[in-house]
Amino acid sequence: MMGFTRQNAGGRATLIVVFGFLYLPIAVLVGLSFNEAGLPTVWSGFSTKWYGALLGNANILGAAWNTLIVAIFATVISTVLGTLLAIGIETRRRASNGLEALVFAPMVIPDIVLAVALLSFFSRLDVTLGLHTIIISHVIFDLAFVCSIVRARLKHFDYSIVEASRDLGASPWTTFWRITFPVLMPAIVAGALLAFTLSIDEFIIAFFTSGAGRSSITLPMQIYSMIRFGITPEINALATIVMSVSAAALLLSQWLNKDQLR
């Protein structure tokens, strides 16, 4: 009994150390974003002025707008394509092995390798880099995640309902919109939220495929360019906002994905 108690205490201590190692830096980042002083290491009082300063920074606002454009377009396109791919792979399992490997490859390929490959591809086609190339790259990256979430829902799907609908005279299109699509909706939304989160946070692929100039800089790239000159509370505030938006979208995605698998 005493050995079991010690084992429990040791397990709790290990969890505290691990979670402290993971989340203490984030807590410090968030706390220092409310620091009134301009020095990141000296606490002089609580203030939200650095969040207000972000609204007056044209470079940050431009990067935020670019990030929103990329995230929205990449999310919409990857969600549509990912859902169609998931349905195609799941309904044609015999011919889906090769296609499945191609779709899920970006999930296992290191980001730096994918970024260099995409840059080489665009350069080979003599495509001018910009927001459009970032969007295309993010679609390729997000596609696998959307497809995997929708496929997880399809594995619990009762296809006898589809067969019954067709036996009653419904067309494939009507069957999809009135039966399949409503069942898949939570998974589709969860996949879209995850794709949106990935697009907001993604740095390496965007950095390689954005081209020169400020017209295609996203928020992660803006944070990187600012942090090279030193860490300031303004950077902490910007990082906190990006992290909060991403965390909210990710938690909602996880909740929807968990709920639709019940």
Backbone CA torsion sign across 207, 68, 191, 21: positive
For residues 76-89, average pLDDT: 90
| pLDDT surpassing 70 at residue 105 | yes
Distance, in Å, from the CA atom of 134 to the CA atom of 68, rounded to the nearest integer, reads 12
| pLDDT surpassing 80 at residue 144 | yes
Give the model's confidence band at 5: pLDDT under 50 very low, under 70 low, under 90 confident, else very high.
Answer: low
Distance, in Å, from the CA atom of 188 to the CA atom of 196, rounded to the nearest integer, reads 12
Single-letter residue type at 213: G
For residues 86-96, average pLDDT: 72
Check whether domain 57-260 has CATH 1.10.3720.10, yes or no: yes
Query: How many residues would you count in the chain?
Result: 262
This prediction's pTM? 0.80
Distances (CA, A) of 102 to 88, 109, 147, 167: 14, 11, 12, 35
